[in-house]
Amino acid sequence: MLRFINLKEGSPTVDYALAIVEIEIENAKKEGCSCIKVLHGYGSHGKGGAILLALRRRLQVLCKQGKITDFFAGDEWNIFSPRTMAILNKDKSVVGDEDLNKTNPGITIIYV
């Protein structure tokens, strides 16, 4: 099951956006979700870029701490990526995601 977080909605601050993501990671684990798609934008209006950079820095830390398995940019969310295929092999319900194969730089995929 794919969990979706929209960080563009409501224009949260960077700190608030990171807190939302960490809470959603814990919720996803409890619910047995295999991955989370985070919509943050790519910086065309300023805030998306700040959230994107801060989010990926925080996810690096969470990955090193073993709190998540992996994460990657939406550019890699395609069927030719081994990282994407690991998720698709684990959870076939993710195959229907609208951003799959769209090389969307405004999303980040978190493999819980």
> Residues 23-56: pLDDT tens digits?
999 999 999 998 999 999 887 654 458 999 999 9
Q: Whose CA is closest to 22, among 38, 8, 34?
A: 38
CB-count burial class (<10 Å; 0-12, 13-18, 19+) for 7: buried
> 15 lies in which domain range?
2-111
> Residues 65-104: pLDDT tens digits?
999 999 999 999 999 999 999 999 988 889 999 999 999 9
Structural domain count, the chain? 1
* CATH number of the domain enclosing 51: 3.30.1370.110
Q: Cα separations (Å) of 44 from 48, 52, 56, 105?
A: 7, 11, 17, 11
